[in-house]
Structure 1
Amino acid sequence: MTNNSLLYLPSFLKNPSKNGVGRYVCQLQRVVLKFCKNHGGSRGMREFIEEDLLDFAKENPGVVVYLKPRRHRGPVIKAEYLSGNTQWLGCSMFTKDEIYKWLNLFKTQQGDKEGIRLRKLWHTETPSIQGPWTPYTFRSPKLNLVEYPNEKLSAAYEEKSATEELLEMFEKQKLHNVKLLKAEQ
Protein backbone atom coordinates (compact mmCIF):
# COMPACT_ATOMS: atom_id res chain seq x y z
CA MET A 1 0.00 0.00 0.00
CA THR A 2 1.45 3.33 -1.01
CA ASN A 3 1.15 6.60 0.82
CA ASN A 4 -1.13 7.97 -1.92
CA SER A 5 -3.84 5.51 -0.94
CA LEU A 6 -3.83 6.91 2.59
CA LEU A 7 -4.71 10.42 1.40
CA TYR A 8 -8.13 9.73 -0.12
CA LEU A 9 -11.24 9.00 1.89
CA PRO A 10 -12.75 5.58 1.36
CA SER A 11 -16.31 5.48 0.07
CA PHE A 12 -17.78 4.48 3.42
CA LEU A 13 -16.53 7.76 4.91
CA LYS A 14 -17.65 9.96 1.99
CA ASN A 15 -21.25 8.79 1.98
CA PRO A 16 -22.36 7.43 5.34
CA SER A 17 -25.81 5.89 5.25
CA LYS A 18 -26.84 7.48 8.57
CA ASN A 19 -29.15 4.54 9.09
CA GLY A 20 -30.90 4.84 12.43
CA VAL A 21 -30.81 8.66 12.50
CA GLY A 22 -34.48 9.56 12.39
CA ARG A 23 -35.70 6.04 11.68
CA TYR A 24 -34.23 2.65 10.94
CA VAL A 25 -34.49 1.22 7.43
CA CYS A 26 -33.72 -2.48 7.07
CA GLN A 27 -31.00 -2.82 4.42
CA LEU A 28 -32.01 -6.35 3.43
CA GLN A 29 -34.15 -6.08 0.33
CA ARG A 30 -34.58 -9.60 -0.97
CA VAL A 31 -33.84 -13.17 0.14
CA VAL A 32 -33.77 -16.11 -2.28
CA LEU A 33 -33.94 -19.56 -0.69
CA LYS A 34 -32.65 -22.16 -3.15
CA PHE A 35 -33.22 -25.79 -2.23
CA CYS A 36 -33.79 -29.28 -3.61
CA LYS A 37 -37.00 -31.18 -2.94
CA ASN A 38 -35.14 -34.50 -2.56
CA HIS A 39 -31.55 -33.68 -1.58
CA GLY A 40 -30.64 -34.77 1.97
CA GLY A 41 -28.67 -31.59 2.69
CA SER A 42 -31.80 -29.51 2.03
CA ARG A 43 -33.82 -31.12 4.80
CA GLY A 44 -33.30 -28.24 7.25
CA MET A 45 -34.22 -25.73 4.54
CA ARG A 46 -37.41 -27.64 3.70
CA GLU A 47 -38.37 -27.78 7.38
CA PHE A 48 -37.76 -24.05 7.72
CA ILE A 49 -39.94 -23.34 4.67
CA GLU A 50 -42.76 -25.54 5.96
CA GLU A 51 -42.75 -24.33 9.57
CA ASP A 52 -41.05 -20.95 10.04
CA LEU A 53 -41.06 -19.10 6.72
CA LEU A 54 -44.48 -17.50 7.16
CA ASP A 55 -43.53 -16.24 10.62
CA PHE A 56 -40.29 -14.75 9.24
CA ALA A 57 -42.20 -13.05 6.41
CA LYS A 58 -44.78 -11.60 8.84
CA GLU A 59 -42.04 -10.27 11.14
CA ASN A 60 -40.19 -8.65 8.22
CA PRO A 61 -42.71 -7.18 5.78
CA GLY A 62 -40.01 -5.08 4.06
CA VAL A 63 -38.04 -8.16 2.98
CA VAL A 64 -39.15 -10.04 -0.12
CA VAL A 65 -38.63 -13.81 0.16
CA TYR A 66 -38.38 -15.95 -2.98
CA LEU A 67 -38.30 -19.76 -3.07
CA LYS A 68 -36.39 -21.42 -5.87
CA PRO A 69 -36.50 -25.23 -5.98
CA ARG A 70 -33.60 -26.81 -7.91
CA ARG A 71 -32.85 -30.42 -8.66
CA HIS A 72 -29.87 -32.25 -7.20
CA ARG A 73 -28.17 -29.22 -5.71
CA GLY A 74 -27.39 -28.13 -2.18
CA PRO A 75 -29.36 -25.39 -0.44
CA VAL A 76 -28.24 -21.77 -0.72
CA ILE A 77 -29.38 -18.50 0.83
CA LYS A 78 -28.85 -15.44 -1.35
CA ALA A 79 -29.33 -12.08 0.39
CA GLU A 80 -29.62 -8.89 -1.68
CA TYR A 81 -29.28 -5.47 -0.06
CA LEU A 82 -30.40 -1.94 -0.93
CA SER A 83 -26.82 -0.99 -1.74
CA GLY A 84 -26.76 -3.58 -4.54
CA ASN A 85 -24.44 -5.97 -2.72
CA THR A 86 -25.29 -9.65 -2.45
CA GLN A 87 -24.20 -12.34 -0.04
CA TRP A 88 -24.35 -16.09 -0.63
CA LEU A 89 -24.40 -18.77 2.02
CA GLY A 90 -24.25 -22.48 1.27
CA CYS A 91 -26.33 -24.06 4.01
CA SER A 92 -26.08 -27.78 3.38
CA MET A 93 -26.97 -29.87 6.45
CA PHE A 94 -28.16 -26.80 8.41
CA THR A 95 -31.07 -27.17 10.80
CA LYS A 96 -34.13 -24.96 10.52
CA ASP A 97 -32.99 -23.01 13.60
CA GLU A 98 -29.58 -22.32 12.07
CA ILE A 99 -31.22 -21.05 8.89
CA TYR A 100 -33.48 -18.78 10.95
CA LYS A 101 -30.44 -17.39 12.80
CA TRP A 102 -28.60 -16.76 9.53
CA LEU A 103 -31.59 -14.94 8.06
CA ASN A 104 -31.77 -12.73 11.15
CA LEU A 105 -28.05 -12.02 10.80
CA PHE A 106 -28.49 -11.05 7.15
CA LYS A 107 -31.40 -8.83 8.19
CA THR A 108 -29.21 -6.86 10.62
CA GLN A 109 -26.25 -6.39 8.26
CA GLN A 110 -25.73 -3.72 5.62
CA GLY A 111 -24.43 -6.10 2.97
CA ASP A 112 -20.82 -4.96 2.95
CA LYS A 113 -18.60 -7.69 1.66
CA GLU A 114 -15.52 -6.65 3.61
CA GLY A 115 -17.12 -4.91 6.54
CA ILE A 116 -15.67 -1.57 7.55
CA ARG A 117 -12.12 -0.96 6.46
CA LEU A 118 -9.98 0.96 8.90
CA ARG A 119 -6.82 2.57 7.58
CA LYS A 120 -3.90 3.39 9.80
CA LEU A 121 -0.51 4.92 9.16
CA TRP A 122 1.15 2.03 10.99
CA HIS A 123 0.79 -1.72 11.08
CA THR A 124 2.34 -4.45 13.16
CA GLU A 125 2.35 -8.18 12.69
CA THR A 126 3.29 -8.79 16.32
CA PRO A 127 1.33 -6.79 18.88
CA SER A 128 2.76 -6.32 22.36
CA ILE A 129 3.65 -9.62 23.99
CA GLN A 130 3.35 -8.00 27.41
CA GLY A 131 -0.38 -7.56 27.14
CA PRO A 132 -2.43 -4.47 27.83
CA TRP A 133 -1.42 -2.02 30.54
CA THR A 134 -3.49 -2.00 33.72
CA PRO A 135 -3.12 0.07 36.90
CA TYR A 136 -1.68 -3.03 38.58
CA THR A 137 1.03 -3.67 35.98
CA PHE A 138 4.00 -2.29 37.94
CA ARG A 139 2.74 -2.85 41.48
CA SER A 140 4.68 -5.02 43.85
CA PRO A 141 3.49 -8.64 43.96
CA LYS A 142 3.88 -8.50 47.75
CA LEU A 143 0.65 -6.49 47.87
CA ASN A 144 -1.22 -9.62 46.79
CA LEU A 145 -0.26 -11.38 50.02
CA VAL A 146 -1.07 -8.54 52.44
CA GLU A 147 -4.20 -8.63 54.57
CA TYR A 148 -5.98 -5.34 54.93
CA PRO A 149 -6.13 -3.16 56.97
CA ASN A 150 -2.36 -3.16 57.37
CA GLU A 151 -0.48 -0.86 59.77
CA LYS A 152 2.67 -0.63 57.60
CA LEU A 153 0.83 0.40 54.48
CA SER A 154 -1.57 2.77 56.20
CA ALA A 155 1.35 4.55 57.93
CA ALA A 156 2.95 5.25 54.56
CA TYR A 157 -0.20 6.94 53.26
CA GLU A 158 -1.00 8.80 56.46
CA GLU A 159 -2.26 12.26 55.62
CA LYS A 160 -0.52 15.25 57.15
CA SER A 161 -2.32 18.38 58.14
CA ALA A 162 -1.62 21.65 56.34
CA THR A 163 0.16 23.01 59.43
CA GLU A 164 2.53 20.03 59.57
CA GLU A 165 3.36 20.40 55.87
CA LEU A 166 4.08 24.12 56.30
CA LEU A 167 6.34 23.41 59.28
CA GLU A 168 8.26 20.80 57.23
CA MET A 169 8.64 23.23 54.33
CA PHE A 170 9.88 25.91 56.73
CA GLU A 171 12.46 23.55 58.24
CA LYS A 172 13.70 22.51 54.76
CA GLN A 173 13.97 26.15 53.71
CA LYS A 174 15.83 27.03 56.93
CA LEU A 175 18.32 24.17 56.34
CA HIS A 176 18.79 25.25 52.73
CA ASN A 177 19.49 28.86 53.78
CA VAL A 178 22.02 27.69 56.41
CA LYS A 179 23.85 25.66 53.74
CA LEU A 180 23.95 28.67 51.41
CA LEU A 181 25.40 30.90 54.15
CA LYS A 182 28.09 28.35 54.95
CA ALA A 183 28.93 28.03 51.26
CA GLU A 184 29.36 31.83 50.95
CA GLN A 185 31.79 32.01 53.90
Structure 2
Amino acid sequence: MSASNLFMKPGFVRAPLQNGVGRYVCQLQRVVLKFCKTHGASRGLRDFIEQDLVEFAKGNPGVVVYLKPRRHRGPVVVAEYLNGERIWMNMHNKTHSEITKWIETLRTQQGDVSATRLRKYQYTAYPSIQGPWSPFTFREPELNTAELPDVKFGENNRLPTSATEQLRLLFERQRLGDGQEKTAE
Protein backbone atom coordinates (compact mmCIF):
# COMPACT_ATOMS: atom_id res chain seq x y z
CA MET A 1 0.00 0.00 0.00
CA SER A 2 1.35 3.42 -0.84
CA ALA A 3 1.65 6.35 1.54
CA SER A 4 -0.75 8.47 -0.51
CA ASN A 5 -3.67 6.54 1.03
CA LEU A 6 -2.87 7.78 4.53
CA PHE A 7 -4.70 11.07 4.10
CA MET A 8 -7.77 9.66 2.34
CA LYS A 9 -10.88 8.80 4.27
CA PRO A 10 -11.43 5.03 4.49
CA GLY A 11 -14.73 3.55 3.41
CA PHE A 12 -16.61 1.01 1.35
CA VAL A 13 -18.18 1.38 -2.07
CA ARG A 14 -21.86 1.85 -1.34
CA ALA A 15 -23.07 2.17 -4.91
CA PRO A 16 -24.21 -0.93 -6.78
CA LEU A 17 -21.13 -2.56 -8.27
CA GLN A 18 -22.87 -4.09 -11.27
CA ASN A 19 -24.99 -1.09 -12.17
CA GLY A 20 -26.06 -1.55 -15.77
CA VAL A 21 -25.98 -5.37 -15.88
CA GLY A 22 -29.75 -5.76 -15.53
CA ARG A 23 -30.72 -2.13 -15.90
CA TYR A 24 -28.96 1.18 -15.36
CA VAL A 25 -29.84 3.26 -12.30
CA CYS A 26 -28.58 6.84 -12.43
CA GLN A 27 -26.68 7.46 -9.20
CA LEU A 28 -27.29 11.21 -9.25
CA GLN A 29 -30.27 11.94 -7.04
CA ARG A 30 -30.42 15.72 -6.69
CA VAL A 31 -28.77 18.80 -8.20
CA VAL A 32 -28.97 22.20 -6.49
CA LEU A 33 -28.02 25.20 -8.63
CA LYS A 34 -27.23 28.21 -6.45
CA PHE A 35 -26.76 31.50 -8.30
CA CYS A 36 -27.19 35.27 -8.13
CA LYS A 37 -29.65 36.95 -10.49
CA THR A 38 -27.46 40.02 -10.98
CA HIS A 39 -23.85 39.03 -10.18
CA GLY A 40 -21.56 38.79 -13.22
CA ALA A 41 -19.85 35.58 -12.10
CA SER A 42 -23.19 33.75 -12.33
CA ARG A 43 -23.64 34.58 -16.03
CA GLY A 44 -22.70 31.09 -17.29
CA LEU A 45 -24.99 29.34 -14.80
CA ARG A 46 -27.87 31.69 -15.69
CA ASP A 47 -27.32 30.88 -19.39
CA PHE A 48 -27.38 27.16 -18.60
CA ILE A 49 -30.65 27.60 -16.69
CA GLU A 50 -32.26 29.58 -19.51
CA GLN A 51 -31.11 27.37 -22.39
CA ASP A 52 -30.45 23.79 -21.24
CA LEU A 53 -32.12 23.18 -17.89
CA VAL A 54 -35.51 22.11 -19.26
CA GLU A 55 -33.90 19.61 -21.67
CA PHE A 56 -31.68 18.29 -18.87
CA ALA A 57 -34.72 17.78 -16.62
CA LYS A 58 -36.70 16.05 -19.41
CA GLY A 59 -33.76 13.81 -20.27
CA ASN A 60 -33.15 12.81 -16.63
CA PRO A 61 -36.52 12.31 -14.92
CA GLY A 62 -34.88 10.57 -11.94
CA VAL A 63 -32.80 13.63 -11.05
CA VAL A 64 -34.42 16.37 -8.97
CA VAL A 65 -33.21 19.86 -9.90
CA TYR A 66 -33.51 22.74 -7.44
CA LEU A 67 -32.84 26.39 -8.29
CA LYS A 68 -31.77 28.54 -5.38
CA PRO A 69 -31.25 32.22 -6.19
CA ARG A 70 -29.04 34.02 -3.64
CA ARG A 71 -28.12 37.69 -3.59
CA HIS A 72 -24.49 38.70 -4.01
CA ARG A 73 -23.09 35.17 -3.79
CA GLY A 74 -21.02 33.17 -6.24
CA PRO A 75 -22.54 30.36 -8.32
CA VAL A 76 -22.37 26.87 -6.86
CA VAL A 77 -23.56 23.44 -8.03
CA VAL A 78 -24.22 20.80 -5.35
CA ALA A 79 -24.77 17.18 -6.49
CA GLU A 80 -26.18 14.54 -4.14
CA TYR A 81 -25.91 10.84 -4.93
CA LEU A 82 -27.76 7.67 -3.88
CA ASN A 83 -24.81 6.51 -1.79
CA GLY A 84 -25.08 9.63 0.40
CA GLU A 85 -22.15 11.54 -1.07
CA ARG A 86 -22.40 15.27 -1.81
CA ILE A 87 -20.13 17.06 -4.28
CA TRP A 88 -19.90 20.85 -4.06
CA MET A 89 -18.49 22.68 -7.10
CA ASN A 90 -17.75 26.38 -7.44
CA MET A 91 -18.86 27.71 -10.85
CA HIS A 92 -17.38 31.20 -10.49
CA ASN A 93 -16.87 32.79 -13.95
CA LYS A 94 -17.42 29.50 -15.81
CA THR A 95 -18.92 29.68 -19.30
CA HIS A 96 -22.15 28.03 -20.38
CA SER A 97 -20.32 25.20 -22.20
CA GLU A 98 -18.04 24.50 -19.21
CA ILE A 99 -21.03 24.29 -16.87
CA THR A 100 -22.80 21.94 -19.31
CA LYS A 101 -19.74 19.64 -19.31
CA TRP A 102 -19.44 19.70 -15.51
CA ILE A 103 -23.11 18.88 -14.97
CA GLU A 104 -22.85 16.01 -17.46
CA THR A 105 -19.78 14.76 -15.55
CA LEU A 106 -21.69 14.94 -12.27
CA ARG A 107 -24.60 13.08 -13.85
CA THR A 108 -22.49 10.18 -15.10
CA GLN A 109 -20.34 9.51 -12.03
CA GLN A 110 -21.42 7.62 -8.94
CA GLY A 111 -20.23 9.98 -6.25
CA ASP A 112 -16.90 10.98 -4.77
CA VAL A 113 -15.45 7.46 -4.65
CA SER A 114 -12.10 8.55 -6.06
CA ALA A 115 -11.22 10.33 -2.81
CA THR A 116 -12.01 7.26 -0.72
CA ARG A 117 -9.48 4.60 0.20
CA LEU A 118 -11.41 1.41 -0.49
CA ARG A 119 -11.45 -1.13 2.31
CA LYS A 120 -11.70 -4.77 1.34
CA TYR A 121 -10.83 -8.13 2.79
CA GLN A 122 -8.58 -9.22 -0.10
CA TYR A 123 -5.57 -7.35 -1.38
CA THR A 124 -2.99 -8.29 -3.96
CA ALA A 125 0.00 -6.39 -5.22
CA TYR A 126 -0.11 -8.37 -8.48
CA PRO A 127 -3.61 -8.39 -9.98
CA SER A 128 -4.43 -10.81 -12.77
CA ILE A 129 -3.53 -9.71 -16.28
CA GLN A 130 -6.19 -12.01 -17.72
CA GLY A 131 -9.09 -9.86 -16.59
CA PRO A 132 -12.19 -10.86 -14.68
CA TRP A 133 -13.90 -14.18 -15.25
CA SER A 134 -17.20 -14.19 -17.13
CA PRO A 135 -19.56 -17.01 -18.15
CA PHE A 136 -18.28 -16.67 -21.74
CA THR A 137 -14.60 -17.14 -20.86
CA PHE A 138 -14.29 -20.82 -21.86
CA ARG A 139 -16.97 -21.03 -24.57
CA GLU A 140 -16.11 -22.53 -27.93
CA PRO A 141 -15.38 -19.89 -30.59
CA GLU A 142 -17.51 -21.85 -33.08
CA LEU A 143 -20.59 -20.60 -31.21
CA ASN A 144 -19.97 -17.10 -32.58
CA THR A 145 -20.79 -18.08 -36.16
CA ALA A 146 -23.16 -21.01 -35.62
CA GLU A 147 -26.84 -20.85 -36.56
CA LEU A 148 -28.67 -21.78 -33.37
CA PRO A 149 -30.39 -24.09 -32.46
CA ASP A 150 -27.79 -26.57 -33.69
CA VAL A 151 -27.62 -30.28 -32.80
CA LYS A 152 -23.84 -30.02 -32.60
CA PHE A 153 -24.09 -27.56 -29.70
CA GLY A 154 -26.85 -29.32 -27.78
CA GLU A 155 -26.43 -29.56 -24.00
CA ASN A 156 -25.95 -33.35 -23.96
CA ASN A 157 -23.42 -33.29 -26.78
CA ARG A 158 -21.14 -30.72 -25.16
CA LEU A 159 -20.98 -32.14 -21.63
CA PRO A 160 -18.86 -35.25 -20.96
CA THR A 161 -20.54 -38.12 -19.16
CA SER A 162 -20.25 -37.75 -15.41
CA ALA A 163 -18.83 -40.49 -13.16
CA THR A 164 -22.27 -41.14 -11.67
CA GLU A 165 -23.77 -41.52 -15.12
CA GLN A 166 -20.96 -43.91 -16.15
CA LEU A 167 -21.58 -46.07 -13.05
CA ARG A 168 -25.32 -46.12 -13.75
CA LEU A 169 -24.75 -47.21 -17.35
CA LEU A 170 -22.26 -49.90 -16.23
CA PHE A 171 -24.80 -51.19 -13.70
CA GLU A 172 -27.54 -51.30 -16.36
CA ARG A 173 -25.27 -53.25 -18.72
CA GLN A 174 -24.36 -55.75 -15.99
CA ARG A 175 -27.99 -56.20 -14.98
CA LEU A 176 -29.08 -56.73 -18.58
CA GLY A 177 -26.14 -59.07 -19.15
CA ASP A 178 -27.04 -61.17 -16.04
CA GLY A 179 -30.70 -61.26 -17.08
CA GLN A 180 -29.82 -62.57 -20.58
CA GLU A 181 -27.58 -65.34 -19.17
CA LYS A 182 -30.33 -66.53 -16.80
CA THR A 183 -32.91 -66.66 -19.56
CA ALA A 184 -30.52 -68.60 -21.83
CA GLU A 185 -30.08 -71.39 -19.22
Match of 2:63 in 1: 63
The whole-number CA distance in structure 2 between the counterparts of 1:80 and 1:37 is 24
CA contact (8 A) 1:87 1:113 kept: no
Paired AA for residue 89 in structure 2: L
- 1:116 Cα offset (Å): 6.5
Q: Between the two proteins, what is the percent identity of the paired residues?
A: 61
Distance 2:32 2:53 in 1: 12
| Distance in 2 (alpha carbons) for counterparts of 1:25 and 1:71 | 36
Relative contact order, CA 8 A, sep 6+: which one is greater? 2
- SS state of the match for residue 46, structure 1? helix
Measure the CA separation in 2 of the matches of 1:71 and 1:46.
Answer: 14
Query: Structure 2 CA distance, aligned partners of 1:62 and 1:54?
Result: 14
Q: Which amino acid aligns with 2:92?
A: S
Work out the CA distance in 2 between the residues paired with 1:58 and 1:114.
29
Aligned residue number for residue 168 of structure 1: none
Residue in structure 2 matched with residue 47 of structure 1 by the alignment: 47
CA change 1:16–1:49 in 2 (3 A) is closer
Q: Given the two structures, how large is their TM-score scaled by the length of structure 2?
A: 0.56
Equivalent AA in structure 2 for residue 78 of structure 1: V
For 2:15 and 2:32, how far apart are their aligned partners in 1?
Answer: 28
8 Å Cα contact 2:15-2:110 kept in structure 1: no
For residues 15-41 of structure 1, what are the alpha-carbon distances to aligned partners after superposition, in whole Å with 9 as ceiling and x for unaligned? Answer: 853211100000000000000011110
Provide closer, same or farther for how the CA distance between residues 67 and 110 of structure 1 changes in structure 2, counting only shifts above 3 A: same
Distance 1:35 1:15 in 2: 30
CA contact (8 A) 2:30 2:79 kept: yes
Q: SS where residue 83 of structure 1 aligns?
A: coil
Alpha-carbon distance in 2 for matches of 1:84, 1:72: 29
Distance 1:60 1:51 in 2: 16
Structure 1 unaligned spans of 5+: 3-9, 123-185
Q: How many residues align?
A: 116
Runs of at least 5 residues in structure 2 that lack an aligned partner in the other structure: 3-10, 127-185
